[in-house]
């Protein structure tokens, strides 16, 4: 049975959409709602709260509750896929810290509450985002027969996905992995690439976790770096250059011959996340190769 407050919300929303209540107009007060609909004051208050949550009304001191603006249209084409695409677009551009159901709704031009008919909550939305992002990774339809080449290719493809979606690395858990179809598909493919070796299935699973954890670990710095770049206006190279004076003072006060040689007498030294990824991927595969051999 439909709750009384939802009928009230639907009717007031209709009046706003029809232009009977325009931006700035007062919405019926809680007492007026109790008289018109014959409900308790608590029900009227709940209806007001629901209208505010949808962004339809706002409380204006000295005036009361007024229409905040034109009501978002109902979108009959709204679907879980459209919601996920919008959420990923926001996270890619602004980071996961800026993602909210209300912001997704605003991006789609619909009421916030309409999202919940397709996505139960924020946690479910994040899970669907992770699955959609990993779904962009296209693994070959068959293995090459060379496990190292297969692992390396998959590791690079995964790194590309993490760079495309900087929020993905910090959103995924190692100890409580998100069981999404595409994450499981990736793990299955990685383990299968080692099927022709002497490794047991347990060993193959541990190699898969090791490789994924390495790529994810490096990728976890992507979103904080993007946020720092937005906040400071400096790239990582520009920020490092700005620290040169502080570094000079530090090595004058404390003997650090390794860092002095690295930073002051190694002109071709360059350090960024791509350098770290390339170095780490090669060394991990070297170690696995020795172990298997």
pLDDT in tens, 189-200: 999 999 889 999
Q: Is a pLDDT exceeding 60 seen at residue 2?
A: no
Distance between CA atoms of residues 255 and 275, nearest Å = 27
Identify which has the larger pLDDT, 286 or 225: 286
Joined together, the tokens standing for residue 216 give 């994810």
Q: Is a pLDDT exceeding 80 seen at residue 18?
A: no
Q: Which of 84-93, 140-149, 160-169 has the lowest mean pLDDT?
A: 140-149
User: Quick check: 70 and 82 in contact, CB under 8 A?
Assistant: no
Q: What is the pLDDT of residue 1?
A: 38
Q: What is the pLDDT of residue 91?
A: 93
User: Quick check: 155 and 213 in contact, CB under 8 A?
Assistant: no
Q: What percentage of the chain reaches a pLDDT higher than 70? A: 96
Q: Is a pLDDT exceeding 70 seen at residue 74?
A: no
Distance between CA atoms of residues 94 and 92, nearest Å = 6
Q: Is a pLDDT exceeding 60 seen at residue 73?
A: no
Joined together, the tokens standing for residue 173 give 């858990």
Identify which has the larger pLDDT, 97 or 208: 208
User: Quick check: 194 and 207 in contact, CB under 8 A?
Assistant: yes
Q: Average pLDDT, stretch 83-90?
A: 95
Q: Average pLDDT, stretch 34-48?
A: 90
Q: Average pLDDT, stretch 120-133?
A: 93
């Amino acid at each position: 049975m439909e709750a009384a407050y939802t009928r009230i919300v639907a009717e007031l929303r209709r009046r706003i959409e029809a232009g009977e209540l325009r931006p700035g107009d007062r919405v019926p007060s809680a007492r007026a709602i109790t008289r018109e609909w014959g409900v308790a004051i608590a029900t009227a208050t709940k209806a007001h709260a629901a209208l505010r949550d949808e962004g339809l009304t706002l409380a204006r001191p000295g005036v009361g509750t007024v229409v905040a603006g034109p009501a978002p249209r109902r979108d009959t084409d709204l679907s879980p896929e459209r919601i996920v695409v919008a959420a990923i677009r926001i996270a890619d551009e602004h980071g996961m810290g800026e993602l909210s159901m209300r912001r997704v709704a605003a991006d789609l031009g619909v009421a916030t509450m309409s999202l919940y008919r397709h996505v139960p909550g924020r946690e479910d939305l994040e899970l669907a985002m992770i699955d959609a992002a990993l779904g962009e990774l296209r693994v070959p339809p068959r293995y090459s027969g060379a496990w190292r080449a297969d692992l390396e290719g998959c590791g690079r493809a995964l790194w590309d996905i993490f760079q495309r979606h900087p929020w993905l690395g910090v959103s995924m858990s190692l100890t409580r992995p998100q069981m999404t179809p595409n994450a499981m598909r990736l793990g299955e493919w990685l383990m299968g690439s080692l099927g022709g070796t002497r490794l047991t299935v347990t060993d193959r699973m541990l190699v898969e976790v090791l490789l994924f954890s390495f790529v994810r670990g490096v990728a976890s710095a992507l979103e904080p770096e993007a946020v720092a770049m937005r906040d400071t206006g400096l790239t990582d190279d520009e920020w490092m250059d700005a620290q040169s004076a502080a570094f000079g003072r530090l090595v004058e006060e404390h003997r650090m011959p390794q860092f002095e040689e690295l930073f002051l007498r190694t002109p071709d030294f360059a350090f960024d996340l791509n350098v770290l990824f390339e170095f780490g991927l090669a060394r991990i595969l070297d170690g696995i190769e020795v172990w298997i051999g």
